[in-house]
Amino acid sequence: MSKATSTRIKVGIGGWTYEPWRDNFYPKGLAHAKELNYASRQVSAIEINGTYYSTFKPETFRKWRDDTPDDFMFSMKASRFTTNRKVLATAGESIQRFIDSGVAELGDKLGPIVWQFMPTKQFDAEDFEAFLELLPKKEGSRVLRHVMDVRHESFITPAYKALAKKHKVSTVFTDADKFPSFEEPEGDVAYARLMMADASLATGYAPKALDTWAVRAQGWTTTPKVRDVFVYFINGAKERAPAAAGALLQRLGWAPPAADAAMAAAADKPKPAAKKAPPKKKAP
């Protein structure tokens, strides 16, 4: 795989605060405040889930930006108040409030914004197009990339695909049986949420399955056009997600910056007390 192809693929997990990852994925004794620093050096992307439930301040986004490596990227879920409504055309104020919260402070580390809809939300062409027209193309000088996470079977229709293409938004691809999904991800960004991890497998997915996902992810970078690819191990046996992401990244030729990770872990170890100098002998 070429260097250009490998850099177009980001693989990661959902969030970084999860109790079962402590003393498992995270080194024993790692301070909670250091978990993002560590996780961002073991995977190449993280999908922020907290923004779906809460509003964060610009300084928080800046802190996340500064705590992660230069080539790292964040995806983030938009606020649930923008999508969990009967009439999507009324979401304008909520959408703007979310964008204005400071998401652009992530700078070059800002990846796609995911607009997740309830599984009960059915496709209404007129209302959904009104929603898509509300999504800003830019925040300041920064181009925004939007991904629709639609979860009702009524969206699996040419009419929805036509709207997504017209408004240049992507659609989440998932392997989960409980949510409908197009056979392949479409749009300017390929965005996969893999949700079928098996707790009995150390890496969540069997080696052959991970081999297959590596090949598919590489194909998505050029089909139907050159584009960035995001793959998240996001649900199912969540305790296996970091291992699954790491195994897929390894297949794609990515290696974690081990020195940085070691430094992150070492930063939390108590420093030995400085030895006191022996008292000077008094002159006779």
Reported as a single tens digit per residue, the pLDDT across 176-231 is 999 999 999 999 999 999 999 999 999 999 999 999 999 999 999 999 999 999 99
Please report whether residue 155 resides in a domain.
yes
Please report whether residue 211 resides in a domain.
yes
If we measure between CA atoms, which residue out of 9, 12, 44 comes closest to residue 193? 12
Query: Where residue 4 falls among pLDDT bands split at 50, 70, 90?
Result: very low
C-alpha span between 210 and 216 (Å, rounded): 10
Please report whether residue 249 resides in a domain.
yes
More confident position, 7 or 199: 199
Q: Where are the beta strands (DSSP E) in 144-234?
A: 146-149, 170-174, 189-194, 228-233
Please report whether residue 253 resides in a domain.
yes
Of 28-32, 208-212, 267-271, which gets the smallest average pLDDT? 267-271
Phi-psi sector, 124: left (phi>0), alpha (psi -120 to 50), beta:
beta
The one-letter code for the residue type at 120 is T
If we measure between CA atoms, which residue out of 121, 116, 140 comes closest to residue 47? 116
For residues 126-141, average pLDDT: 96
Instruction: Look up the domain containing 229 and give its range.
Output: 3-266
**CATH number for the domain harbouring residue 76:** 3.20.20.410
Please report whether residue 280 resides in a domain.
no
Please report whether residue 212 resides in a domain.
yes
Element (DSSP H or E) covering residue 114: strand 110-116
Please list the alpha-helical segments (H only) found in the chain. Answer: 3-7, 35-39, 50-53, 58-66, 80-83, 92-100, 125-134, 158-166, 207-220, 241-251, 258-266
If we measure between CA atoms, which residue out of 186, 185, 204 comes closest to residue 196? 204
| Number of structural domains in the chain | 1
pLDDT at 278 over 90: no
If we measure between CA atoms, which residue out of 197, 189, 157 comes closest to residue 173? 189
